[in-house]
């Protein structure tokens, strides 16, 4: 497993081909996903070890991608400690009592491994199954939400465009913000530790909405807490990927938070991103997820440009390695046949 292309690339070694996996590959666009999810609420599915195992394996079986992403959600740890929330289809996580005061923060319990027996069971099952898939076995990527992105749901009470309440707390009540971000950092770090202890071989920290802050505010109000999570994950010896959307101005700082690989969104030119991330780390990305709706030859031409750009940068020592991915999650209406062609193309191109 340690010689699998994904883990080699993530560690900055030279794999035999560019590894590829897709954010949100575990579901939504797959008919077999919709079959097993029928009538099961999202967070109930995330607490059922058999469903987690099946859904995580579906895209690996179908596409032969180089890594599995654990099926769960960034708000699942909050659900497990009793925060009243649900994931509304087509909307996202909705929190019944938003967090606004120090008392609200203190009322959130710490997460312990005892809250997550179904995670330990599912990762254990997956590790066994995945060992037999692919030439070297297929690594499992564990994940967690970064403190800023999780805080935005807790403070806003749901998805947001402006993050006005989140930023009001961040700028206006620094001691409440610090307590909240520390609390979430501890929860996310424990969530990663449980996944790695049970057999996950790498982790990705999703700070999807970090692009809502500028670099100075990122360094002051966001990075210290993501660093806590990434340092605890680093102590486990697994590669750490750090990803955000609209993160062009934050790439260096997201790397310096403690990542081995920085995920780049599709809006950012890859070569430009590589020079910001620098030679100490790897890069992941970054095909526009909407290119799957273009003619296949257009999609593959763009994928080829990404592979060649990154390969040249690796050869020149400007970046340590490249993991191919989309520049954000798979769009639910994606034709799985296009992702199959894309996977095969990445494997044979490089
Ligand atoms: O490949 C995978 O899907 C892996 C598992 C995974 C899910 N969510 C499953 C999920 C991962 C890694 C996440 C992370 C996540 N969750 C993020 C960060 C990633 C990103 O896309 O930036 C965020 C912001 C969330 C919060 C969340 N959960 C949102 C915004 C939504 C979408 C709501 C909707 O229906 O539009 C969810 C729900 C969710 N999480 C689904 C899945 C498969 C869809 C639920 C369903 O199929 O009914």
Model confidence pLDDT, tens digit, residues 109-166 = 999 999 999 999 999 999 999 999 999 999 999 999 999 999 999 999 999 999 999 9
Which residue out of 29, 39, 62, 92 has the highest number of ligand 1 atoms within 8 Å of its CB and is therefore the one to mutate?
92
224-263 pLDDT, tens per residue? 999 999 999 999 999 999 999 999 999 999 999 999 999 9
> Are 204 and 170 within 8 A, CB to CB?
no
Nearest CA to ligand 1 atom 28: 92
Q: How much of the chain exceeds pLDDT 90, in percent?
A: 99
Q: Is 61 in the pocket of ligand 1 (CB under 6 A)?
A: no
∠ Cα 315 316 317 (to 5°): 90
Index of the ligand 1 atom closest to the CA of residue 46 = 9
Does 59 score more than 90 pLDDT? Answer: yes
pLDDT at 218 over 80: yes
Domains held by the chain: number? 1
Taking the C-alpha atoms of residue 252 and residue 234, their distance in angstroms, rounded to an integer, is: 18
Q: Is residue 342 packed enough to be buried (19+ CB in 10 Å), middle (13-18) or exposed (0-12)?
A: buried
Q: How far is the CA of 311 from the centre of ligand 1 (A)?
A: 30
pLDDT at 114: 98
Tell me the mean pLDDT in the region 26-39.
Answer: 95
Catalytic residue list contains 260: no
Q: Is the pLDDT of residue 350 over 90?
A: no
Of all residues in the chain, the percent with pLDDT exceeding 70 is 100
For residue 252, what is the domain's CATH number? 3.20.20.210
Q: Ligand 1 mean position to 280 CA, how many Å?
A: 30
220 noted as active-site residue = no
**Does residue 68 carry a pLDDT above 90?**
yes
Residue 176: domain span:
5-349
The pLDDT of 210-228, averaged and rounded, is: 98
CB 288 within 8 A of CB 329: no
Residue 27: predicted pLDDT: 85
Report pLDDT for 268: 98
Mean pLDDT of the chain: 97
311: which 2 tokens?
């390969």
pLDDT of residue 232: 98
pLDDT of residue 315: 97
Residue 9, helix vs strand vs coil: helix
Catalytic annotation present for 100: no
């Amino acid at each position: 497993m340690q010689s699998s292309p994904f883990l080699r690339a993530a560690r900055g070694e030279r794999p035999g081909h560019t590894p590829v996996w897709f954010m949100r590959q575990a579901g939504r666009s797959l008919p077999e996903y919709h079959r097993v999810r029928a009538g099961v609420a999202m967070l109930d599915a995330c607490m059922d070890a058999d469903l987690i195992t099946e859904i995580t394996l579906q895209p690996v079986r179908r596409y032969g991608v180089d890594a599995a992403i654990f099926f769960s959600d960034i708000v699942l740890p909050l659900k497990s400690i009793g925060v009243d929330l649900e994931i509304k289809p087509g909307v996202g996580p909705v929190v019944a009592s938003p967090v606004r005061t120090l008392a609200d923060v203190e009322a959130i319990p710490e997460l312990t491994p005892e809250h997550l027996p179904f995670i330990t069971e599912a990762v254990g099952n997956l590790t066994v199954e995945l060992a037999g898939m692919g030439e070297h076995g297929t690594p499992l990527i564990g994940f967690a939400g970064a403190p800023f992105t999780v805080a935005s749901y807790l403070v806003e009470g749901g998805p947001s465009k402006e993050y006005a309440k989140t930023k009001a707390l961040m700028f206006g009540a620094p001691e409440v913000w610090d307590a909240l971000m520390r609390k979430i950092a501890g929860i996310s770090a424990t969530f990663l530790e449980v996944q790695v202890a049970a057999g996950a071989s790498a982790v990705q920290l999703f700070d999807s909405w970090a692009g809502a802050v500028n670099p100075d505010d990122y360094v002051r109000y966001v990075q210290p807490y993501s660093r806590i999570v990434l340092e605890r994950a680093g102590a486990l010896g697994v590669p750490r990927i750090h990803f955000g959307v609209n993160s062009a101005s934050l790439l260096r700082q997201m790397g310096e938070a403690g990542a081995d690989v920085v995920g780049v969104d599709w809006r950012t030119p890859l070569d430009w991103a590589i020079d910001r991330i620098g030679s100490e780390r790897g890069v992941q990305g970054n095909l526009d997820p909407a290119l799957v709706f273009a003619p296949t030859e257009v999609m593959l031409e763009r994928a080829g440009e990404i592979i060649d750009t990154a390969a040249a940068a690796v050869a020149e020592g400007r970046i340590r390695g490249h993991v191919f991915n989309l520049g954000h999650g798979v769009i639910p209406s994606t034709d799985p046949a296009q992702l199959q062609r894309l996977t095969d193309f990445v494997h044979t191109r490089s």
